[in-house]
Structure 1
Amino acid sequence: MTREHTPTPAFRGNPFPVSAVARHSPSDGPDFSIATPAVRQALDHVRSFLRTSGEQPDAPGSGGSGHVVAVVGEYGTGKTHLTVELLRWIEGHGEDATHTLYVDAPSDTFQALYKDRFFPKLDKDDVRRRVTEYYADVVAEELADSPLTADAARMLKDRRLHPQEVVRRLGLSESAFLQSLQARLGHITEHSDFGTALALFLRPEFEAAVWEWLAGHPADPVLKERGVVRTIDTDISALEAIGVFAFLYGRQGHRFVLAVDEFEKVLSRGTRSAQHEGSVLAFKKLLEVFAQTRSLLILSGLPDFMEILPGDARQRISCVVRPTALSAEDTRGYIRHALGRRDGPPGGHGADLGPFSEEVIAYLVELAGGNARKVIRLCYHAYQTAAAAGTDITRAMLREVARDQFEASSPQDVRAEIVRVLDSGGWAFAQDHQFETAGESGDAGESGGPGEPGAAVVDFWLPVGGEGAGLGIVLSQSILNDEEALRVAAQGEAASAAANGPSFVVLVVNGYLAGNLSEVVTEPFERVFGYAPRRFPDDFSAAIKGLMQRLEATFNDDRIALIESRMSQLMRQTTGVRSSLDEIGNRLTSPALLERAVTRGVRRAFVAVGEGEPSGEVPLPPAILLRFQQVMTELRTWREIGETMIDSAFEDDHRHSPLFPPSLVRTMGLLHVQERTLTAFRDAVARTFDPVLDKRRESHDRDIAPLCHRYDRLTEDTLEALDHEALDMLHASGVRSGPARRWHRREADAAFSLVRLLRDLGRDVYELSENYRY
């Protein structure tokens, strides 16, 4: 019997999301959520927040009924999904007096979080209504003492009358009431300038100036005349401003809910805000503000941000939620929902599991280790593969999908990355090192090659001292079955047993380590690393440094040998920096690069001649083209500064000036590489919009997500290597010599503006392409 390979109706459209990344959008309809223990725990706290904060409005100085919830977990565990689910539940069960805001944190500071994410989400009319309610209370308190105006006071309290209208009709002194409002708001918000600004906000002639100031711009002269002089341009003032809005809403019978996703981008080791003690203290104060008001703060992110918080700040977090792994039952329910949503209401064909089976679902969960993002990705790609083959999903098909999707880098790329990390650290190492075990005659090769069971072989060996001690590194591709797991574990055990003296052996997995095999694989190794291009270099480098220091500590008696070893390491680091600069120069003029340049020129000429385009450039949608031009102009300005510095070094009056420091040279080289990366990214995106270069592509099939992801990976590596002190040096030179004057910004903002532009470009291009109407 011949199998029919034509997809059946059961494969009509893939019901699983391709990205497996949760997003929050007010327009999103209700989504399916699995009631894991973490979800139930978080919802319990949200219900408690709505119940306790609904009893009575908070008064100044009261204990408050606010909550701070931290959703903490690693990549792909469902943090964003859980956060979005909490917001949807609040929006569905809260009253009209509940106001929710969702922001994704920028890779920057609290100031950027406020100006670029938080404030744009505020509604001007809604803020004005909150201030008006305070004004109504001030007027009502004055009118309540007279029997003639008691009814008007009650109607003001019930929000059935507008305070401005009452003041005008009764001929009362508006200025006196506004002064009282100013004092009231200053007391409530704990900041007199915010009290003044918000009181002036009710007067039409000041409305625009106040809103501009709240957005982070310098105060208009009309505000300065009235005591509002500072600018919301620091972490501390930005956090104070967020707290002011929590007070403004929470002390007037409203519930204010703020969710900040990817919070580690603002507060984690290495971020600018985390390194400033005042910023951390101001954030601790913000936690207190939310706890004192009818407010809920949800912080979602990697565990990194919890490590930065002082102990007393962590105590102000009401609940720490850690997303739990999905079970086979959870996953079965998700698959049923996805298939049912595609094929109709539950109970019809969508209630079936096909092309999945109970056995396959259980195996899928084992492979994914219960990680929500991995489960969804495997579902999507397994469904695609089964649809193409016209068969049900099998265990072998899942393993093939896991290898294809999670082995994003080739083994050669992983080895090259490890070599780069070791070189940059100045460590001496040998590749494909095989130990001489007892009883061997010297021909170690007969005992088994790399990867064979029991082979005493490591892919990298970092010696410590002269007695055979050291650090071994074993590389492996995806580990998806028992045979692969036992082979890698045996290699780790053999290497540990064969090493002389103190030693460690670590494992780097390029791809997927099945959750059910993790314990077997990790036991023989000191550490196990999953290779992820973005985070691996930093995490691996830090871990290797720590392990090497632990090994060196065992040789404390031989201090001279340690000093010699450290000096050799320092010399290798210096040589590595020079080699990197030479490599950058060689790449900029490589034959492959020249060939691509010629190819682009021919393509552009073909477009211009064959299609009648007046320009040799491939057309891009205006919004995307403008975004590229903005970033390119910024990078070009930095390059011009570097070129000016180099030119000035050969002027007569600079003949005795010192050479450029290595950090500055490296930074200029990295900026040059980034400029070339940007050009290549732009050209690649342009080709997806070009009907001449690819006539077969239909407009609705255009997908630039892989290009944006590739740009993000390349750019993140560059940004992590940039030296901000060197950027400040470049900027200062540019201000003196001319190229940087066009920026019209303070020196302290220039470097972070550059980093933000480069880091956000991939996301912006993707979003603009999604919104572009073909």
Structure 2
Amino acid sequence: MDAHDPDPNGAVNPYPSSAVAQIADAGSTVMTIPTAAIRRATAVMDGYLTALRAAPQEPAGRVLAVVGDYGTGKTHLAAHLIRHAAERLDGDLQWMHLNAPPDTFVSLYRAFADKLADRRDVVDRQVRRLYADILAVEVRRSRVTEPLAESLLDGSLDPVAVVDTFGMMEHRLLEQLRQRLREVTDNTEFARALTLLLRGGFEDAVWEWIAGRPPAEVLRERGITGTLTATEATALQAMGVFAMLIGYGPNPFVLVIDELDQVLTAAGRRGTEALDKFKEMLHVFAASHTFLIIAGLPDLLDSLPRDVRARSGEQVRMTPLTTAETRGYIRYRQGDRLAPFTEESVVQLVELAHGVPRRVISLCHRLWRQARDRGTPVTPAMVRAAVRELYGGAGTQHVLAEIRQVLVGTGHDAYVPDYFLTDRPDSRVDYWLPVGRDDAGCGILLAGPMLEESDVATVENRARAAHAHRDCELLLVVLEPVPEQFLPRIREAVGREPLLYRPRSFADQLTAEVKAMTGRMEERYPQDGLLVPVAPHLARLDRRQSATQHMLSLLTGALDDLRVRNDQQLAAIHRDLSQLRPPPGAVTEPGADDLLAGLPAPVVEVFERALAAGHLHTRVGTLLTQAFAEGEAGRGARQAVRARIRDGRVHAATGVAALLTELVEAFAQAVAEWYALARQQPGGPTVAQRERLEEICQIFDVVHEYLPVFRLRALRDLVDGPGDGAGPEDLFGDLSSRVRQELLAALPGGAT
């Protein structure tokens, strides 16, 4: 849910329950805060569009690098640029969004090719335009055919028909096409494939080749023998070719590659060849009419060689929201009202969320609901409590497990967990690594959000107790960034900067910190004896052996887990098959109508709309059944199926629809059971019952946030055809809030 409800009573939570941006329809209406990053990126896009319209024949490509931490709005910025460009061009825009996999450029190309398959008509049109431009030059060489040039350029003549009619030498045109593609690649197979794409009978074979499969025999006979996904170099060349093709002519093409740091990190571990090809691809994009947006974490650009960074074009770094920007966002969402928020609570909200948009929005959603339930304004204390609930204990055990893996993997398997340096409770360290002699060593502390003075004092006391009783090096691992006003005290107490937990880079950063700490302690306590010269080498060998044994044990465990999961899945399949046909006389589970029978009419209406959106996979089954029908109805259904069923997004959306339906039905059943008990109370639901309803709604919200509901658009397009309206996901953003509101309104004293 992105659009706010301007109901002055505030009956519907105006903030989205899920603050994860998705690039949906270019025509979607989403509130965008005009931050410095947004303004700068929009100016770059405007420059691109202006140059493209002013001189369509000149290369107007741009490369925009957008970097920022998780939740800072990188994807939202990309979506804003697409909407902005579409508005300026009245919808005449081609765009594509890719999430880079943590794998290779080959996997990135496969994702690109999957989405390219959805644009067959666009590719066909652009190939014909390119071919017609080349042919127009040729026909002007003869007075007989010169009048055909303008008809070719305006698209009123088919270039393939002209070649066949006048018996023109196709190999000369093929050479011209190859020359056009020379700036991208010397591989002549692209020119041959694009030419065959225009001739009947070859389309399926060519598109299979574009998808990365080995060429069919019919293509091999015509000189196409290579596979586009054979190497990362050919995969990147192919991306450059097709991006140049889609962006050919006056029509712009915007390509977004999100989380690019994942694939670049993988590429960097293998060598420089892939990065060299990536540099070439950036050059191709800049030399075409394509607007390329690459987005990633702050170290995205730092991980690139200098010459590759130079090709990345404009660079925009996401900045945190200011108090004024957050206040403006709140007023926008709430119909120009600040209440229930106050000036003080907004300041506290921005400070504790560190201005990260995703956190600001999530906290606003939670705090608005709490303020409405309690009938009080949002106070700074409520903000601190909400931050602690959302980010305090979540993931602590997971982080501790990662720390253990790093310690064992680096050969420090003699660590002691939950180690007390003295009898005092505040002398506990989460992990202690004995190093040297005289009980010296290294300690690792783990801390949650630093929200108040007491949080900082706790860390200070733990660090001072450790330093007072042991010669040691300390490292503080924090789950959330430390506020600026507390950082000097943390540095002084611990002795170094805290290490912020970031899932993707934490293991590498912790490994480096542990190596540095233990190295300093070993220098402080040199060993005596004949083996001193070789002691460091023996220690390194010991750590490497331990690391190798640890990796072998992890691999063995992973294989065992895989075998167990396979056995469990096989058993589950057998169970499911045996239960598909219930025995005679068996009582079936209640359907959706039975679940909703006892609920108030407004609640039933809310659930019916949600279930209708989730039951898209059932309508797909109906469409497939119609495809086997005779006559016009069957012909139309078959056309729809052929056009969309190969789309991988449809496959994924079918699974999402089934899971979402199960989730909504389980939610409805829990709500029905709650309502049956609550309506028995003459004075309305009790406090305990209200808390139980709140818990039920929160469970739905948490599970719903993990489902990529936006994928249902693919199923909607399959059964209804492409549409510009709101997607099915808009129904679920505040489903729990609407259900809760209607339930309480239907009970005595429930709305108070």
TM-score by length of 2: 0.70
Q: Distance in 2 between matches of 1:134 and 1:581?
A: 52
Larger RCO of the pair (alpha carbons < 8 Å, separation 6+)? 2
Shift of 1:423: 3.8
Q: Which residue of 2 aligns with 1:482?
A: 453
245, 259, 265: which one pairs with 2:242? 245
The Cα offsets for residues 392-438 of structure 1, whole Å up to 9 and x where unpaired, read as 21111111111111134375665455445434443233345555xxx
Q: Distance in 2 between matches of 1:167 and 1:767?
A: 39
Is 1:25 paired with 2:1?
Answer: no
Q: Which residue of 2 aligns with 1:43?
A: 42
Secondary structure of 1:107's counterpart equals coil
Task: Describe the shift of the 1:312–1:19 C-alpha distance in structure 2 as closer, same or farther (beyond 3 A).
Answer: same
Q: Which residue of 1 aligns with 2:746?
A: none
**Pairs aligned (count):** 614
Q: Distance in 2 between matches of 1:305 and 1:267?
A: 8
The Cα offsets for residues 562-611 of structure 1, whole Å up to 9 and x where unpaired, read as 45655665676678679879999999999xxx9xx99xx9xx99x96896
Shift of 1:531: 4.5
Structure 1 stretch displaced more, 458-467 or 70-79: 458-467
Is 1:140 paired with 2:110?
Answer: no
The Cα offsets for residues 285-328 of structure 1, whole Å up to 9 and x where unpaired, read as 10111121122211111234434422211111111211011000
429, 432, 436: which one pairs with 1:465? 436
266, 283, 286: which one pairs with 1:288? 283
Shift of 1:263: 1.4
Task: Describe the shift of the 1:242–1:574 C-alpha distance in structure 2 as closer, same or farther (beyond 3 A).
Answer: closer
Q: Distance in 2 between matches of 1:544 and 1:766?
A: 47
Contact preservation (8 Å) 1:246, 1:290: yes
Q: Which residue of 2 aligns with 1:215?
A: 211
Contact preservation (8 Å) 2:345, 2:380: yes
Q: Which residue of 1 aligns with 2:670?
A: 696
Q: Distance in 2 between matches of 1:238 and 1:587?
A: 34
Q: Distance in 2 between matches of 1:376 and 1:85?
A: 17
The Cα offsets for residues 61-96 of structure 1, whole Å up to 9 and x where unpaired, read as xxx432211111111111111111122212222477
Q: Which residue of 1 aligns with 2:490?
A: 521
Task: Describe the shift of the 1:53–1:262 C-alpha distance in structure 2 as closer, same or farther (beyond 3 A).
Answer: same
Aligned residue identity for 2:368: Y
Q: Which residue of 2 aligns with 1:370?
A: 355
Aligned residue identity for 1:529: L
Aligned residue identity for 2:87: G
258, 271, 282: which one pairs with 2:255? 258
Contact preservation (8 Å) 1:331, 1:361: yes
Contact preservation (8 Å) 2:140, 2:146: yes
Contact preservation (8 Å) 2:663, 2:700: no
Q: Distance in 1 between matches of 2:474 and 2:715?
A: 47
Q: Which residue of 1 aligns with 2:415?
A: 429
Q: Which residue of 1 aligns with 2:587?
A: 612
Q: Which residue of 1 aligns with 2:70?
A: 75
> Percentage identity across aligned positions?
33
Contact preservation (8 Å) 1:105, 1:262: yes
1:55-454 matches, cutoff 5 A: 55-58=54-57, 64-94=59-89, 98-122=93-117, 123-145=119-141, 149-164=145-160, 171-174=165-168, 176=169, 178-190=170-182, 191-233=187-229, 234-268=231-265, 271=266, 274-339=269-334, 350-409=335-394, 414-415=399-400, 417-427=402-412, 428-433=414-419, 444-445=422-423, 448-450=424-426
Shift of 1:108: 2.6
Task: Describe the shift of the 1:429–1:394 C-alpha distance in structure 2 as closer, same or farther (beyond 3 A).
Answer: same
Q: Distance in 1 between matches of 2:395 and 2:282?
A: 45
Q: Distance in 1 between matches of 2:376 and 2:179?
A: 69
Shift of 1:195: 0.7
Is 1:509 paired with 2:478?
Answer: yes
Task: Describe the shift of the 1:134–1:763 C-alpha distance in structure 2 as closer, same or farther (beyond 3 A).
Answer: closer
Contact preservation (8 Å) 1:481, 1:517: no
Q: Which residue of 2 aligns with 1:748?
A: none
Secondary structure of 1:325's counterpart equals coil
Q: Which residue of 2 aligns with 1:540?
A: 510
Contact preservation (8 Å) 1:367, 1:516: no
Aligned residue identity for 1:40: R
Q: Distance in 2 between matches of 1:206 and 1:367?
A: 60
Q: Distance in 2 between matches of 1:116 and 1:365?
A: 37
Task: Describe the shift of the 1:197–1:565 C-alpha distance in structure 2 as closer, same or farther (beyond 3 A).
Answer: closer
Structure 1 residue runs of 5 or longer lacking an equivalent are: 1-7, 340-349, 436-443, 451-455, 615-619, 627-680, 713-760
Shift of 1:476: 2.2
Q: Distance in 2 between matches of 1:410 and 1:216?
A: 39
Shift of 1:497: 5.9
Contact preservation (8 Å) 1:408, 1:511: no
Aligned residue identity for 2:167: S
Q: Which residue of 2 aligns with 1:717?
A: none
Task: Describe the shift of the 1:689–1:66 C-alpha distance in structure 2 as closer, same or farther (beyond 3 A).
Answer: closer
1:726-737 matches, cutoff 5 A: none
Task: Describe the shift of the 1:588–1:311 C-alpha distance in structure 2 as closer, same or farther (beyond 3 A).
Answer: closer
Shift of 1:23: 0.4
Q: Distance in 1 between matches of 2:556 and 2:158?
A: 72
The Cα offsets for residues 236-284 of structure 1, whole Å up to 9 and x where unpaired, read as 211111111233244534433211112123221xx25752432222111
Task: Describe the shift of the 1:160–1:253 C-alpha distance in structure 2 as closer, same or farther (beyond 3 A).
Answer: same
Aligned residue identity for 2:343: E
Contact preservation (8 Å) 2:26, 2:82: no
Q: Distance in 2 between matches of 1:765 and 1:471?
A: 51
Q: Distance in 2 between matches of 1:26 and 1:39?
A: 19
Secondary structure of 2:172's counterpart equals helix
Task: Describe the shift of the 1:580–1:290 C-alpha distance in structure 2 as closer, same or farther (beyond 3 A).
Answer: closer
Structure 1 stretch displaced more, 545-554 or 115-124: 545-554
Shift of 1:701: 7.2
1:643-654 matches, cutoff 5 A: none
Shift of 1:533: 6.4
1:632-711 matches, cutoff 5 A: 688=662, 695-697=669-671, 706=702
TM-score by length of 1: 0.68
Contact preservation (8 Å) 1:213, 1:232: yes
Task: Describe the shift of the 1:566–1:124 C-alpha distance in structure 2 as closer, same or farther (beyond 3 A).
Answer: closer
Q: Distance in 2 between matches of 1:355 and 1:263?
A: 40
Shift of 1:148: 5.9
Secondary structure of 2:166's counterpart equals coil
Q: Distance in 2 between matches of 1:351 and 1:363?
A: 20
Shift of 1:486: 3.7
Shift of 1:481: 1.3
Structure 1 stretch displaced more, 578-587 or 318-327: 578-587
Secondary structure of 1:505's counterpart equals strand
Structure 2 residue runs of 5 or longer lacking an equivalent are: 1-6, 590-613, 621-654, 674-695, 717-726, 733-752
Task: Describe the shift of the 1:521–1:386 C-alpha distance in structure 2 as closer, same or farther (beyond 3 A).
Answer: farther
Secondary structure of 1:696's counterpart equals helix
Shift of 1:100: 1.8
Task: Describe the shift of the 1:520–1:77 C-alpha distance in structure 2 as closer, same or farther (beyond 3 A).
Answer: farther
Aligned residue identity for 1:543: E
Aligned residue identity for 2:192: T
Structure 1 stretch displaced more, 107-116 or 421-430: 421-430
Secondary structure of 1:266's counterpart equals helix
Task: Describe the shift of the 1:698–1:65 C-alpha distance in structure 2 as closer, same or farther (beyond 3 A).
Answer: farther
